[in-house]
Amino acid sequence: IFGKSPPWQILERNSRGDIVRHSGISMEILKEMSRMLNFSYILHEVKVNAADSAAE
């Protein structure tokens, strides 16, 4: 849903490149909405290749 664009979304990765923490304004809004509306969510990273980036 969100891209890597601070301060909206910040991704922290470990030495293998795995995302270990999400933060930022968008993530805080999602976290608060899930608490208030009683839902859970799972985030999945979408890999974008060079051809996809060029099309934007």
Q: Answer for the pair 12, 6: CB distance below 8 angstroms, yes or no.
A: no
Q: What pLDDT band is residue 1 in, cutting at 50, 70 and 90?
A: very low
Amino acid at 45: E
The structure's pTM equals 0.63
pLDDT at 4: 61
Quote the CA–CA distance of 47 and 10 in Å, as a whole number: 16
14-31 burial string, b = 16+ CB within 10 Å, else e? eeeeeeeebebebbeebe
Q: What pLDDT band is residue 53 in, cutting at 50, 70 and 90?
A: low
Rg (CA), the chain: 13
Residues forming beta bridges with residue 21, ordered by sequence position: 12
Q: What is the pLDDT of residues 3-46, one digit of tens each?
A: 566 678 888 888 998 888 888 998 999 999 999 999 999 988 88
